[in-house]
Each structure stands twice: as C-alpha cells, then as structure tokens.
Amino acid sequence: MGSPELPEAKPATPLPLRGVRVVDVGNFLAGPYAASILGEFGAEVLKIEHPIAGDPMRRFGTPSPRADATLKWLSEGRNRKSVTIDLRQPEGVQLFLKLLAKSDVLIENFRPGTLEEWGLRWEDIRAANPKLVMLRVSGYGQTGPYRRRSGFAHIAQAFGGLNYLAGFPGETPVLPGTVPLGDYIASLFGAIGVLIALRHSEATGHGQVIDVGIYESVFRVLEEIAAVYGANGKIREREGSGSFVACPHGHFRTRDDKWIAIACTTDKMFERLAVAMDQPHLSSSSLYGDQRKRLAARDQVNQLVIDWVAARPREEVLRRCLEEEVPVGKVNSIADIFEDEQFAARGNLVRVTEDATGEVVVPGVVPTLSATPGRITNLGPTLGDATDQVLRDLLGLADAELKRLHTRKII
C-alpha cells in the first residue's frame, strides 16, 4: 500500500518555552502528556522514573523494535530525558528536591497522598523552590470524598458523564473510541494551568498547585447537558451517531462499504443536501425545510439519506456534497488517514528515525504556531538514558558519588 510522503521535523528554531525545566514524575498519560506538549515547544523535560521498572507505559501497548519500549512509549514518551531516582528512599527524595530547586514545573499523577507518604509535601517542595509550579492530575482531584480512589481514563469518562452518552439508544454505553480521552483532556487543561501559573510565578516569585481531576475535565467538555438538566430536568440519552438537535446528522454507509459523516445543523445546510441528492423538493416548507419538522420526522429523513448514500460510492457522495457545500467528511480508519492529503499537508504524521528503532510514525505537534512551531526532538528515551548527565551537570555530582548511588540502587 502506498502512502504520501510524510514531512520531516521542522528545522531547529528558538522555541518559546526554551529555558523552562519540567520535572515529570508521573506514569502513563494523565499529566505526563502535558509535559509532552511543553516539551514540544522548547521546555526541557526530565522524566523521573524508578531505577528498576520505569514508567509502566514502557510495557503497555504494541511491541516496538526496541526491547525496552512499546510503540506507545516511543510516541507518548517523546521529547524527554530519562532520569532514574527511587523516591521511596530518603536519599532519593533529597536528590529529587535538589532537582526541583533548579526546575520550574513539577508534574505528578499519583493517587492523592502518595507524594506526601514519601516525604514530599507541598510545603517541602515549596521550601526547596518557592517559584515552582506543580501540576497534580488524579482521577477525582486532591479534595473531596473520592480523592483516594484509583483514577483511570475509562472510569473517569464514565463517572464524568461521557460514556453514558456514547452508544445507541437503549443499548450498553460504550467507551468512545476505546482510547483514554480523559487522560488527554485532563492533560490539556493541565498544560493550560501550567502556563497560567508560570506567568503568575514570573510576575510574583510565587509558585502554586494546579489541581486537575480527570473526571471533571471530561465533564467540562460535555456541552450544555448541565444547563439543560438544571433548567428542566431533561437527561440527554444516547443518540448513536446522530444528534438530538439536528437532522440528518450521522454516519452513513456507502455502496462501496465505506462510511461517511454528514452534519446538517441548519435549514440552509439541509437545503444544500437536498440539491446534492437531486431532490430539492425535500427542503420545501411543506416537507422537511424546517428543522423542527425534520426532527419530528427524524426516521423518515434519515432513511432518505441512508438510501441515497447507499446507492453511491463514497467518492461520489463526497464530490456531490462538497460541490454544494454540505458539511461532509470521511469516517477515516488509520489506513485512510495515512493516505489522506490533508493529514500529509498539515504534518499530522511525522516520521522519526533513530538507530535503535528505525522509522516510527507518530502524531505531529498541535497546535501549529506560525513563528515558533513545535517539534519532536526524540522518541521515548531508554530508561535512565540521562541520569548521570543530568545529575552531574545540574547538581554537580562527582563520578564517585554517582557510582555510590547506582550501587545502592537510589539511581
């Protein structure tokens, strides 16, 4: 199967977060993905891992050519240096605090209370570096009766209300996309919080804690459901691929057994679709020209579109809809994405080649900045690849001291 040429990483340019040092002590994605974003725009990210096991994400997902890492780790662990420190040992805690004294941001996602159990209270961290910004991501946040419960994206998406909306009417709620959306969403809110807190720290000399619950990050993006329930007690239910506020609005199978998405949220859009279907009379006032009439006759309207789409190959449906400016798009598999010219033109797929892995294709950097575009500097590092270099250069540890710490398995 052929594929378009994927763009190489942008040439090195000064990036806006150059000079910001981030210490990422989390595992998996919720929180650490915020560090990935900061790293893509110039921050130095030090990934603190246990000397023996490291981040469990190294072993989670599809195996890669590197024995110590999955493809998930190579992609999501990118733009980092790995530094191994055992935070369960007092000497490791002291090393960690010395690193924080020379850093700007700390990101952690342990169950609330874990850092405190290791002797790393916020008071201790702030004493080491009053300007430090600390991002804490957990399933339920640092406060409240559920704060000590384990936090996973799937559970947070269910608890936050997203999974209840996913699926078809009357059927089992599903996990949207079977991907950890909650982890990514929480990390995005976390990255925003870090940037805001850094601005405050630079202005005042005082750091602060950013507290993000995964469930509340999910809940925040659920549109108007809270306002509607608060106003009239209406519970939004599962709508499948459709929408209770618009019709036709969903996914439709084409003659060549592919899928296409159509979204007609206004009367004008439906009028354009009717023209594309060579049935302009459908948008008359006596039939379905008014959104309220279409919603009242949702099944009949959807069936008209289902039949029209099913009689044609996907490319023809696309062409006709695009000619009439109907909101339309392919329902892409990853194979479709690799072949698509828009993904190629926007640099959404980036090939990174390293000696130990060969070529690995990873998602590109988002957002796109015109003057200082972010970049991918390296794939997920090997465990402890920068331990000696960072502790020697940043903390001034001598080789003999490094050897002693290695022997005692503190690093």
Supply the residues annotated as catalytic: 183
Kindly give the pairing relationship between strand 209-213 and strand 105-108.
unpaired
45 beta partners: 22
Note every long-range contact of 354-359, with CB atoms under 8 Å and residues 24 or more positions apart, other chains counting.
354/378, 354/379, 356/65, 356/66, 356/382, 357/64, 357/65, 357/66, 357/69, 357/74, 358/65
Rounded distance between C-alpha atoms, residue 334 and residue 178, angstroms? 14
146 three-class SS = coil
In sequence order, which ranges of 83-207 are alpha helices (DSSP H)?
90-101, 114-117, 122-128, 153-159, 162-165, 181-204
- Per DSSP, the residues of 313-372 read -HHHHHHHHHHTT--EEE---HHHHHH-HHHHHTT-EEEEEETTTEEEEEE--SS--SSS
Cα torsion angle, 91, 28, 73, 47, sign: negative
The 10 Å CB-count burial string (b at 16+, else e) for 159-180 is bbbbbbbbbeeeeeeebeeeeb
